[in-house]
Amino acid sequence: MITLFVAADGLSSEEGETRNILWGLVGAGLQFGIKVNLDYILQHGYARAFSDLRVYDRQLFVDLKMWNGKRTMVDVAKAMVGHEVDFFNIYALADSEIPPVIEVTRGTKTKVLAVTVLTHYDDAYCQRHFQRSLWEAVRHFGETAVELGCDGIILPGTVLDAVAHLDTVKVVPGVRPLWYKDTRHSEEIEPSVAKKKGADIVVCGSPIMKSDDPAAAMKRILQELQ
């Protein structure tokens, strides 16, 4: 069954309002995980941030987007494991620096997801920096991540077919139903299409969090994912 994570990006700038929305979603009995950004963790530190988030009793995805030296990433991974985070992410571009991070999480509940190409970027960006199309870049980084032992990959839903051959968890951010429009993501996909194309987890923020009725908006998206 496909899993929905709500992007609680407002925690760093509108914490009170965002928390009220999350409590409303929990109170409505909806099933979802929570994705939280690095800026929120930096503002409050590990102990407070994770303590505050655990009250919702939901799976937690920490959007770190790590790409650093081995020592730094291993230390961060240890903190994620220690706080029993369900998912955190690292760029597939980190390449040979990734296996020591995977080793830290082995045998724990914490899973490592590899970022292929952000949904903010398009084919022109990939051609400029990788000399590959978006499709080719996502396929390459997806294969790299699986070879290095990552538990899943994060990719634009528009190119899910590029990794259809990979037996791994596929996470699609930037999900946008037809009834909501913005310009935050270059590569968007509808919830039902993401599911049909093989996504295992989808991440959706603004259509829910910016709605006049967040619970009703989430229910519509969950229905589209059935």
Domains (range + CATH), the chain: 3-224 (3.20.20.70)
* pLDDT for residue 154: 98
CB atoms under 10 Å from CB of 37, counted, come to 19
User: By C-alpha distance, which of 218, 224, 118 is closest to 171?
Assistant: 118
Rounded Cα distance between 201 and 75, Å, is 26
Q: Are 159 and 188 spatial neighbours (Cβ–Cβ below 8 Å)? A: no
CA distances from 17 to 24, 145, 150, 182 (A): 11, 36, 35, 21
Mean pLDDT of the chain: 96
Per 3-state DSSP, the chain is made up of helix, strand and coil in percentages (nearest 5) of: 50, 20, 35
Q: Give the residue-averaged pLDDT of 155-173.
A: 98
pLDDT tens figures, 172-204: 999 989 887 776 666 779 999 999 999 999 999
pLDDT tens figures, 128-151: 999 999 999 999 999 999 999 999
What is the longest distance spanned by two Cα atoms in the chain?
48
